[in-house]
Chains A and B, each alone.
Chain A
Amino acid sequence: MRRNAWFELLRTGVAIAAALIIGFIVTSLVSESPAEAFGYFLKGPFTSIRRFGSFLEAAVPLTFTGLAVSLVFSAGQFNMGAEGQFFIGAVAATAAGIFLDLPPVIHTVACLAAGMVAGAIGGFIPGILKARWNASELVASLMLNYVFLKLGMYLITYHLRDPSAGALVSLPLKESSWLPQFTRTTKLHAGVFVMFLVVFACYYFLYRTSKGYEARMTGQNISFARYSGIPVLKVMLLIQVLGGAVAGLGGAVEMLGIYRRFQWQASPGYGFDGVIIAILARNNPLLVPLAAVFLAYLRVGADVMAMYADVSAEMVSIIQAVIILLVTAEAFLAGYRHRLTLKEVKQRASAS
C-alpha cells in the first residue's frame, strides 16, 4: 500500500516535470527571450501580494469543483456537469442575496443553501436518468451544462439585471449576504473556511460513513456491490446529488466572497478544471486543495507571463494536457515500477 502511494506521488512529480520541460520548449519556439518569459511564468504568483492573493483565491472555486467531481468519480460514475452546477449555484445565490432580507450570517447561510440546492438539482437530473432508465450520466451531465448556462443567463437578464449598470450584470448582493474579505489588497475571503469544512466533510463522508462506503464499493466493483446488497442505483443518484450540491455551493461562495454581483457572460470553466483536479488528486478529497492550488498557480503564472512577455497564457493548456496524459497513462513508468517490485520481492526473499 505504502509503495503504491509513493509510486503515484513519484509518477505525478515526473509528469509535472516533463510537462514543464515541454512547456519551456514550446515557449522557446515562440518567444524572443524564453528564459525571461518562463521566469515570469514560474515566479509570477509570488511577485506581488495581490498576485499571491489572486492565486490563492483562484484555488477556492477549483477546490469545490474538484471535490464535486471526485465524489462522483469515487462511485465510478462520470460527472461532466460540475460546470453547469457551479454556474446555476452562483445564480441561485445571487437571487437569494438580492431578494432575501435576513440578518448577516443567516443571510449568508441562506444564500449558500440556495446555491447547494440549485447545484443538487443539477446533479439529480443525470442521477435519476441513470438510475431509472440507464441513460449515460456522462452525456446527460455534459448537455445539462448548456441548459443551466442559458437558464442562468435568462434569469440574470430578465429578472436580476441591474438596469442602472452599463453592462449586463445583476443587482448587487445585499451586504448582509457577503462572505467577508480579510484584507483590502487581496480578495481572499471567509469562503476559505467553508472550503476546508467541505474538504473535510467530503473525506469524512467517503471514508467514515456507511453511505460513503456504499459509494466507494460501487465505484470499485459494481457487481460486488450489488451482490453484497448495496442498493447501487440509489447510490448513483445520491452521489450525483451530493456532487451537484458541492459544485453549486462553490458557485455560491464565489459570488458571496469575490464578485458580490453576478457578472459572468459565459461559463467560467471551473467545472472542467474540476475534472483535471480530481484526476490529479486521485479522487482523494484531502489532496484536492493541493491539486487546486497547483492548477491555480499555473493559471496565475501564465497570466503574469502573458502580461510581461511575448507568450500567450494559453501555453498553460499545453502543460495541463501533458500532465493529464502522463498521469492517466497507466503504463507510464510501469517498467520502473516493475523493477522496484522485483527488487523488493528479492529483498524479502533473501531476508526470510
Chain B
Amino acid sequence: MRAQAQPQATDPILLMKGITKVYPNGLVANSNVTFEVRKGEIHALVGENGAGKTTLMKVLFGLEKPDEGSIFIKGEEVRISSPNDAIRYGVGMVHQHFMLAPSLTVAENIVLGAEPRKGIWFDRKRAEQVCKELSEKYGLHAEPAAKIKDVPVGIRQRVEILKALMRGSDILVLDEPTAVLTPQETDELFEALKSLKAMGHTIIFISHKLREVKELSDRVTVLRSGKVIGTRDTDQVTVEEISRMMVGRDVVLKPMRPKATGTRGEVRLLAKNLNLVQDGTQVLKDVTLQVRAGEILGIAGVEGNGQVELAEVITGLSPCDSGEIWVCGQDATGKSPGEIRDMGLSHIPQDRMIFGVASNASISENLISTRYDKRPVSNGFSLDIKAVAKLGQDLISRFGIKASSAQQAVGTLSGGNIQKVVIAREFSTEPKVIIANQPTRGIDIGATESVHKYLVDATESGTAVLLVSADLTEVMSLSNRLIVMYEGQVVAYFDEVQGLEEEEIGLYMLGLKRQEPDEVTASMMGRPVE
C-alpha cells in the first residue's frame, strides 16, 4: 500500500514553518523547525527524547505558543491558540497519557463535550449508537457500555482515537502510541492505522522505535536537538541510517546481557510473599523473588501491573501489608528508605522528575543526596563544599553529563542528562543491589546505550540488578533471568532468556497464559546453587 501514488498524495495538508519555541528556563525545544505532511500519508516524527517532537506537536495542538513561526493547514495560514482551535481545523491528538474519564463508559467518553441530547437529558442510546457506528466504520472495536477503568490499555487507546475521529479529525497525531502496548496490541493498532490511511486520513506518528517506523510509515522526519535533520521516504532509508540521523553517529541498537559467570553468587535481594492492597485493589499478590550477585533479573509486564508498587515496597518508600524483604542478608522489612540504602541498595526510580531529582537544585546538590552526611562530602556535621564540588565535577565527566557546570540547575538539562545525573548518583556509591525501574524511559538512544552499559558493567563486577521495564526488547536482551508480572502477581519465570520469543512473553503479559504459582516459586527459589 505504501508509496502507491494516489493523485493527491503530494499535496501538503499541513505545513509548520520556521517554528521556534523556547521554554522559560532557556531550553530551546524547537529551533526554526519546518515540518511538512502530505495528505493521506503516515508520517513518522522521530528523534531522541528532548529532540523536540512532543513540543512541536503541542504547538500544533495549541498547547504551547510558539515564539516564532506559522502554521498552514490545507494551504491556509491558521492561528491555533487552544486545542479547540486545533480540533476545529481537523487536528486530533492521542496523548501519551490518555485523557479519559475512567468511571465513564466507552460511549460516554467518546461523545464527551458533544453529547447527543433528548430534551435536556443525555441520550445514552444515541451515544452508544454513534459509538457503534464509528467503531464499525473505522474497524476499531470497543464495547460502548464498558467502563474505561475496566478495559485494557489497548482499548483505551482506541477510544482516544475514536474520540478524535468523532470530532472530524483528518490529521491524527499519535504521541508514542506503542509505548504502553504489548506486541499483539501493537499489531492491531498498526492494522487500524493502515486502514485509516486507506480511508484518506493523515497520520503523524511519533516514536523512537525505529522498527515500527520502518514498518508503518511512508515518510520520516528526524529531529535532533530541536532542529530538523531531514525528511526521507521511509523505503529509501535503513533503520541504521535513521538512527544515525537521530544521534549524529553510529549506534549499537541491541544491548548485550551480562556474561553469566558460571557460578551463581549469593542471594543479595530476597522478597517473600509480598502483599499490598491500595485503594481496595490488591496491587501485589504473594510476590516472591530473589536476585543473586552478578545477575540481572528482569521483570516484564504491561505498565500498571504492580511493578512500581513492588519497587516502592522493596526500597522502603511504601509499606507492605505482609511479607518479608531481605537485602544482603539483613532484614529490610518495614525499614526506612535511608536504612535500606545503608544496606547497599540503590534505586533508579520510574519517575525521575518526582523521585529522581530536585529540579531547582544544582547538579552537585542532586548528586550528594544519598551521601550528604558521609565522608568525603561531610564530616557528619558540616558539608565540605570543596569535596561536593569535586564530586560534582568527577561524576559529570565520568558519566558524560552535558552541563555548563556542576552549579547548573538540574531542571534545565535535557531528559537524558537528568537521567544521567540519577544514574551517576545511584551507581557511584558502589551498590550491592540496584533496583532499576524503567531506567531508559523517555531518554535518547545515546543515553540509553550508556545506561545499558553501566547496568551490564555493574552486574559483571558482582552487583545484583532487578530490572523493571515496559520495553520488552530491552528487558529480554539485558536480563539473565526473567519473570512476568500480571495484575500484581508473578505469572511466569524463565531461567533462561535466550531463545524466548517476544510473542510468547506477550501472552503472559496479557494474562492469557500463566504458569502454576507454586511452580514459579519453586523453580526460582528452589534451584540448588550450582
Seen from chain A, the residues whose Cβ lies within 8 Å of a Cβ on chain B are: 1, 204, 208-211, 213-214, 216-217, 220-221, 223-231, 334, 337-338, 341-342, 344-345, 349
Q: Is the CB of A341 within 8 A of B24?
A: yes
5 contacts between A and B (CB under 8 A): A216-B361, A217-B358, A224-B355, A226-B337, A342-B22
B373:A210 contact, CB within 8 angstroms: yes
Beta-carbon contact of A345 and B26 below 8 Å: yes
| Closest CB in chain A relative to B424 CB, distance in Å | 14
Do A231 and B336 touch (CB < 8 A)?
yes
A204 to B381, CA, bound (A): 11
Of chain A, the residue at the smallest CB distance from B337 is: A229
Find the residue from B372, B408, B409 having the highest chain A CB count within 10 A. B372
A333 to B323 alpha-carbon distance, docked (Å): 54
Query: In the complex where A337-B24, A349-B31 touch, is A226 in contact with B317 (Cβ < 8 A)?
Result: yes
Verify if B146 is at the interface (C-beta below 8 Å from A).
no
Tell me which residues from 1 to 32 in chain B have a Cβ below 8 Å from any Cβ of chain A: 22, 24-26, 28, 31
- Asked whether B361 lies within 8 Å of A217 as measured between CB atoms, the reply is yes
B380 an interface residue at 8 Å Cβ cutoff?
Answer: yes
**A341 CB, nearest partner CB in chain B, Å:** 5
Give A337's nearest chain B residue, CB to CB: B24
Which B residues touch A227, using CB under 8 A? 315, 317, 337, 347, 349, 355-356
Majority DSSP secondary structure for residues of A touching B: helix
A345, B22: Cβ atoms closer than 8 Å = yes
In the complex, what's the smallest C-beta–C-beta distance from B99 to chain A, in angstroms? 24
**B38-46, B245-253, B363-371 - interface stretch:** B363-371
Q: Count residues of B near A (Cβ-Cβ below 8 Å).
A: 41
Complex CA gap A223/B372 in Å reads 17
* Closest 5 pairs (CB-CB, A-B): A229-B338, A220-B358, A228-B369, A221-B358, A227-B355
**CB nearest neighbor in B for A214:** B372
Question: If A220-B360, A227-B349, A341-B26 touch, does A209 touch B338 (CB 8 Å cutoff)?
Answer: no
In the complex, how many angstroms separate the beta carbon of B476 from the nearest chain A beta carbon?
A: 28
Task: Check B70 for interface membership: any CB of A closer than 8 A.
Answer: no
A226 to B25, CA, bound (A): 26
- Per the bound structure, the CA–CA distance linking A150 and B33 in Å amounts to 67
Q: How far is the CA of A341 from the CA of B28 in the complex (A)?
A: 10
Minimum C-beta distance from B406 to chain A (A): 11
Closest to B31 in A: A349
| Contact between A228 and B370, CB atoms less than 8 A apart | yes
Q: Is the CB of B336 within 8 A of A210?
A: no
Nearest-CB distance from B289 to chain A (Å)?
21
Instruction: List 5 additional A-B contacts (Cβ < 8 Å) besides A208-B385, A227-B317, A229-B336.
Output: A209-B382, A217-B358, A221-B359, A227-B315, A345-B26
Instruction: For A222, give the chain B residue with the smallest CB separation.
Output: B358
Return chain A residues, CB-CB under 8 Å to B360: 220
Given contacts A1-B408, A229-B370, contact A221 B357 (CB under 8 A): yes
Which residues of B are found within 8 Å of A1, using beta-carbon distances?
407-409
Q: Which of B336, B369, B382, B407 contacts A224 (CB 8 A)?
A: B369
- Say whether A223 contacts B408, CB under 8 Å: no
Check B378 for interface membership: any CB of A closer than 8 A. yes
Assembly CA distance A271 to B317 (angstroms) = 36
Q: Which residues of A contact B339 (CB under 8 A)?
A: 229
B44 to chain A, nearest CB (A): 27
Question: Smallest CB-CB separation from A339: which chain B residue?
Answer: B67
Question: Cβ of A213 and Cβ of B368 under 8 Å apart?
Answer: yes
The answer to whether B378 and A210 touch across the interface, beta carbons within 8 angstroms, is yes
Which residues of chain B come closer than 8 Å to A349, judged between CB atoms?
A: 28, 31
A178 to B30, CA, bound (A): 65
A210 neighbours in B (Cβ, 8 Å): 372-373, 378, 380-383
